[in-house]
Structure 1
């Protein structure tokens, strides 16, 4: 039973990604994706193959095209399908076998993630229709953070907004933070998963997290993924009254302000150039002032968040960098750590710069708490959680697609 196969599906608003994983393996058996769905430019591609046009394909049509490719590479039956679902609200505190109740719950949480949950549901329903005899599991980005105590997840707002409308801090990137914390414990010899970690998931979306013995104690994202750190195009934390200020002074309506904060801000807005850290580092080296400012703000705000999250832990065993930027930008790591000397965190410059792309390693200086770079693997985490749940609940209630 140790070589069971899991199909991991990540459905987006205009794309769907598939990864076939074998139990216990660190590498996927097969990966594929479809992009620009519901447009004439829709297409699909897979590792080792060319891109293929699939005009006007929806999620179900894309899966129809991709599943035969999965079967060709499977070398055995698929035991379970694991779906990434962004928002589980308070209802879902862990992975769940998908039935009518779970489908209804994902739909009920759609107002909290209007771009993500409906897309996740499309992928789930299409997979259930095409693979009706295979158990399907939902793994929620928010579930890992349901261990946060009320003093960490509540906003200072009237109680009715929480009790009736669910307005609270939920947090995201849970599968990533959970995965790298587990790996950090293993890399530092803590076989029981214990440890007090600060985790920085840095990509186009960014979040930080305080993790104690495998449980989230606090995190930077909140009701939505906009709260917290500076990101690729998202502002992160701003004065809550900025909305009113822009409405009064510029006459902007709410959709325009949301567009600004989610699509036009962050590294892109600060630099006036790009949301890609690689481009910004090159521009900084060439003397681009906006790129330099964007990187400095990004790193300072990250360090400030990590320092603040440290109060959620009894001590600090180490700091983890992950995500595309965290794993590959030695400059970001070095600048962030330059602000954290007060916490005893000190980087070894040579170890930091020598770490190869995609490589896990330790980069702390002698006498510092551990500083680890760990490539994240959310699909592996989803696969493992799906199999664990399948072992615990080997049957499921059939649900109509």
Structure 2
């Protein structure tokens, strides 16, 4: 037999061996076939796994958001099938993102500009601490309403910017995990619309914008705010090493519960009441964050299990509502302790503490943890329902005490 004849035999033998050894990897190029054509796996190929009642369907998803193929496999054989229709990425047709220049849209999606709920959850602790600190400002006069309002608006701008930076950092860490989760596979970095390098540069620009806002506050705020950057950068790692990344998120998102005190000139190192109030309010918000993010985590519980992502929802799936109840009681008890430390009045305890207890109880009872849509509704609206009643109670208590203080001065 000539060398050419021997050489020509090597290719089919090698292909057959490759198919046999990779049969347990349906996404491999030697197995992903359609008809007689072998499909290539381009750079940053994203794979989504969907499990039906019988066979398993594996979808190869390209970063340009086009489907490459779909094959149906069983435990023993691999048979080709026609492509399964999956909704491809389409640019936003409505809302704020639809009026932005096309090149800006991926960056707006990266900071979740079209999903501002996260910014509100980051903002509420700032408002809580600002209203709680206002009556503690140094004599002769309590912080006036315009000062409290201006400080709150600065916090709102900072929350939007820093939440966007946190989302970008999160997507950079999760760029190899997001393609495996149905809800996140179309995020800009996961689908290849923004490169990791551009996202890193964009993060730097957002942090500079956050610094510009931070410099509008009293100088002490800079020193209190800086440690939070470490939490912002490391939170995405928590889901890889612990089933309680929501606790790390709580430490991060609750930082604003401290910032309102130095923002109004209250010295946390010298004022014992303010120090106790800040600590209690901070831990209260940590409990709240774990609570609402546990509901949020139930939206991805199936995909997280497949992708190896850890969460409190996976760890305590069967006793979720009991855990949520414990978190709610902890949150309200700590919130009440913060009010006691600052000498709050009935408006706070009835409005903020009582309101939070009722709204959280209703949410925990009614949320359907098996429904993605229902979990999302309560995550979005629970922000305003619970955060709103706490804010209203704090605002009412501040205005009552401000009026009383000025009434005594005029008398």
**More strand, by proportion:** 1
TM-score by length of 2: 0.28
Tell which structure's C-alpha radius of gyration is larger: 2
Structure showing the higher helix proportion among its residues: 2
